[in-house]
C-alpha cells in the first residue's frame, strides 16, 4: 500500500478518530485513470501521482472529504440525477462542514457559504445544467475527489435502505468511539445524531397507519416469483410506502434545545426508515409558526425552530384540517403540557411525549424518555 496514504490515514485516525475509523472501512485503490479520487462507500480510489503532489494536511483533508460523502450517504442518493452535477452539489454540501472541522482541502475545493446547511439534493436543484463535455470533469469538478454510486445499487446487491442501514451502524459506532476519546465536535455530534439515533421504533408504531392508509394494488414491476419458472409472469400484490403525513413540533417555551434536537432526530428517522411520500412539518407553540415540506431527499435535516411562546394544540389541527385534509396521519412531538386540544380530528394522531404520565383526549401516546 502507498506509504503516503498509510501515513495520512494514520494521522486521521489519531487526530480525528470519527473520520479515521470510517476511512479504515474503505479499501484504498490506486487509479491512474482518475484525475483526483472518489469513493463508492466500499472503496477509496485515488490517483497516486495527484495524491503525491498534495501536502500531508491536504491528503488528510482529501480522505476526510471522501469519508464525508459516506457519512451523508451521497453514495446511495443520486437516483436519476446527472453524475457530474450531483458530484458538484455533494462537494458544496460537505466542504463547509470540513472547513468548520479545521480540515485543509486540496486546492480548488468547492466552497460557497450560500450553501451552508443545505442538502446535496437542494443544492443540485439550484445549480445550472453542466455544459457539454463536462462529463469528462465529473470526478474532478471539485478538485477534492468525487463520489460514485455504491456498487450494490445495480439491482443485484441490495437496496439503498439496506446499504444505508449497514452504514448507519458503522457511523454510529465511529461516533461513539470518537466521543469516548473526547474527539467529536459538537457540530459533528449534532449532525450524526440527526442521522443515526432515533429513540422511537417508527417501523412498529406507525405500522398500523401504513396498513390502514397505504393502497394495495397489483403491479407488473415485481412479478410473482412462484410463477416465473413456468413462464407465467403474473403481477404481484404489494404495498407502497406511507403517503403524506403531518408532523407537528411543539416549539413552546417549555421545550428545551436538546428536546428540539430530538424532534429533528425523530423526524429524520421517519423519513429514512418509512420513506413517506411527503412530510408536512409544522412548528407550533400557541400558533402555527412555520410549515415546511420534507421528503427523504431532504436528509440530513437542518431545522431552525421558531416559537417559544405558550402551548396550544388546537391551532395545528385547525391548520391541517384547512390546508392538509388529505394526510394519512399526524404525529405530534410535544411534552403534552397544555389542555387546549380541540376536537378529535378525522385522521389518526400519534402523540410522542417527552413527559411520562401525560395523556391526550384522543389518539395514542408514546414516550421518548
Same domain for 156 and 15: yes
Same domain for 270 and 188: no
Give me the domain span that covers residue 281.
245-367
- CATH number (domain holding residue 327): 3.40.50.410
- Please give the Cα distance from 293 to 217 (Å, whole number): 27
Residue ending a domain, choose from 180, 196, 212: 196
In the beta sheet, which residues pair with residue 95?
Answer: none
Same domain for 183 and 50: yes
Same domain for 176 and 79: yes
Do the domain assignments include residue 23? yes
pLDDT at 336: 94
- Please give the Cα distance from 275 to 242 (Å, whole number): 7
Same domain for 147 and 26: yes
- Please give the Cα distance from 277 to 324 (Å, whole number): 14
pLDDT at 229: 44
Residue 288 Cα distances to 140, 210, 319, 345, 357, angstroms: 45, 27, 8, 17, 26
The beta-strand segments (E) located in 41-182 are 43-46, 146-147
How far the first Cα of the chain sits from its last, in Å, is 48
pLDDT at 234: 41
pLDDT at 162: 65
Pairing state of beta strands 236-238 and 217-219? Answer: antiparallel
Do the domain assignments include residue 72? yes
Same domain for 146 and 14: yes
pLDDT at 136: 44
pLDDT at 131: 62
Same domain for 349 and 283: yes
**Are 291 and 318 spatial neighbours (Cβ–Cβ below 8 Å)?**
no
pLDDT at 268: 87
Same domain for 249 and 159: no
pLDDT at 265: 82
Do the domain assignments include residue 350? yes
Do the domain assignments include residue 25? yes
Q: What is the pTM of this model?
A: 0.57
Do the domain assignments include residue 103? yes
| pLDDT < 50: residue spans in the chain | 135-138, 155-158, 210, 215-240
Do the domain assignments include residue 278? yes
30-58 pLDDT, tens digit per residue, is 999 999 999 999 999 999 999 999 999 99
Q: What share of the chain is helix, strand, coil (3-state, %, to 5)?
A: 40, 15, 45
C-alpha cell at 293: 415540506
Write the DSSP assignment of 149-168 as a string of letters. Answer: --TTTTTTS--HHHHHHHHH
pLDDT at 167: 83
Do the domain assignments include residue 208? no
Nearest CA to 311 out of 294, 327, 297, 332 is that of: 332
Same domain for 147 and 14: yes
- Please give the Cα distance from 68 to 188 (Å, whole number): 11
Do the domain assignments include residue 308? yes
- Please give the Cα distance from 29 to 285 (Å, whole number): 53
Q: Helix or strand or coil: residue 98?
A: helix
C-alpha cell at 289: 409558526
The DSSP H or E segment spanning 293 is strand 288-294
Q: What is the DSSP letter of 329?
A: E
Q: Helix or strand or coil: residue 145?
A: coil
Q: How many residues does the chain have?
A: 369
Same domain for 255 and 186: no
Residue ending a domain, choose from 179, 196, 213: 196
pLDDT at 10: 95
Q: What angle do CA 160, 175, 28 make, to 5 degrees?
A: 65
Amino acid at each position: 500500500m502507498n506509504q503516503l496514504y498509510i501515513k495520512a490515514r494514520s494521522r486521521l485516525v489519531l487526530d480525528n478518530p470519527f473520520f479515521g475509523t470510517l476511512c479504515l472501512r474503505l479499501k484504498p485503490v490506486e487509479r491512474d485513470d482518475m484525475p483526483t479520487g472518489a469513493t463508492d462507500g466500499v472503496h477509496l480510489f485515488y490517483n497516486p501521482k495527484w495524491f503525491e503532489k498534495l501536502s500531508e494536511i491536504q491528503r488528510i483533508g482529501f480522505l476526510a472529504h471522501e469519508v464525508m460523502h459516506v457519512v451523508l450517504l451521497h453514495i446511495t442518493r443520486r437516483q436519476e440525477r446527472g453524475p457530474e452535477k450531483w458530484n458538484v452539489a455533494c462537494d458544496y454540501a460537505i466542504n463547509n462542514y470540513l472547513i468548520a472541522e479545521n480540515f485543509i482541502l486540496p486546492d480548488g475545493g468547492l466552497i460557497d457559504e450560500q450553501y451552508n446547511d443545505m442538502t446535496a439534493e437542494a443544492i443540485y436543484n439550484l445549480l445550472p445544467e453542466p455544459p457539454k463535455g463536462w462529463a469528462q470533469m465529473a470526478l474532478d469538478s471539485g478538485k477534492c475527489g468525487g463520489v460514485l454510486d455504491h456498487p450494490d445499487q445495480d439491482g443485484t446487491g441490495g437496496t439503498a435502505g439496506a446499504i444505508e442501514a449497514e452504514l448507519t451502524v458503522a457511523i454510529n459506532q465511529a461516533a461513539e468511539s470518537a466521543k469516548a476519546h473526547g474527539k467529536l465536535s459538537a457540530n459533528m455530534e449534532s449532525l450524526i445524531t440527526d442521522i443515526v439515533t432515533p429513540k422511537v421504533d417508527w417501523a412498529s408504531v406507525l405500522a398500523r397507519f401504513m396498513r390502514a392508509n397505504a393502497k394495495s394494488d397489483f403491479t407488473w414491476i415485481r412479478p410473482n416469483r412462484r410463477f416465473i419458472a413456468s413462464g407465467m409472469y403474473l403481477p404481484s400484490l404489494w404495498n407502497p410506502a406511507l403517503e403524506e403525513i403531518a408532523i407537528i413540533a411543539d416549539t413552546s417555551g417549555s421545550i428545551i434545545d436538546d428536546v428540539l434536537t430530538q424532534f429533528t432526530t425523530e423526524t429524520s428517522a421517519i423519513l429514512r426508515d418509512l420513506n413517506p411520500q411527503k412530510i408536512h412539518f409544522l412548528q407550533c407553540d400557541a400558533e402555527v409558526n412555520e410549515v415546511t415540506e420534507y421528503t427523504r431527499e431532504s436528509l440530513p435535516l437542518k431545522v431552525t425552530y421558531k416559537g417559544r411562546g405558550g402551548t396550544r394544540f388546537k391551532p395545528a389541527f385547525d391548520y391541517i384540517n384547512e390546508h392538509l385534509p388529505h394526510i394519512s396521519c399526524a404525529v405530534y412531538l410535544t411534552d403534552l403540557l397544555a389542555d387546549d386540544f380541540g376536537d378529535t380530528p378525522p385522521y389518526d394522531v400519534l402523540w410522542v411525549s417527552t413527559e411520562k404520565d401525560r395523556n391526550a383526549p384522543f389518539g395514542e401516546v408514546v414516550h421518548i424518555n
